[in-house]
Amino acid sequence: MIICYRPVIIFKEQKSVIKHIAECIANQVKYFAIFGEFRIREEEDKKANNCECLFNRCVLGLGFSELADHKKQMLERVFENMEEEIKENGRKLENLNEQKEQVQAQIEIITNYQIS
């Protein structure tokens, strides 16, 4: 099941979102090396890294999970410098771009994906 979420404010261009999703798929090992192992909630000094984090990084450019926030009873998330947060996540995602052929193949799959 795929859930389509359209934020009120669009931070990134559609091509950039597709490219970042493709890079995460093609470079899964490096993705987890950069962002940490799969984790639903934050633990000690380790940030959450779940499917919501992946979505928020790729689409919004922000690395957070409302689920993780809810689990630790955090009622709101405040970004001290949202522009810098978006740039930092963008830099990390750009560092995934190693397997160019696989990334391009994933971009084509995503671009040609149609809901029937």
Residue 69 Rama label (left phi>0; alpha psi -120 to 50; beta): alpha
Q: What is the pLDDT of residue 27?
A: 92
C-alpha to C-alpha distance for 39 and 41, rounded to whole angstroms: 6
Whether pLDDT at 101 is above 80? yes
CB 49 within 8 A of CB 42: no
pLDDT tens readout for residues 30-84: 999 998 888 887 777 778 889 999 998 998 888 888 888 888 887 777 778 888 8
**Residue 13 dihedral angles phi and psi, to the nearest 5°:** -70, 150
Other beta carbons within 10 angstroms of residue 32's beta carbon come to 13
pTM of the complete model: 0.76
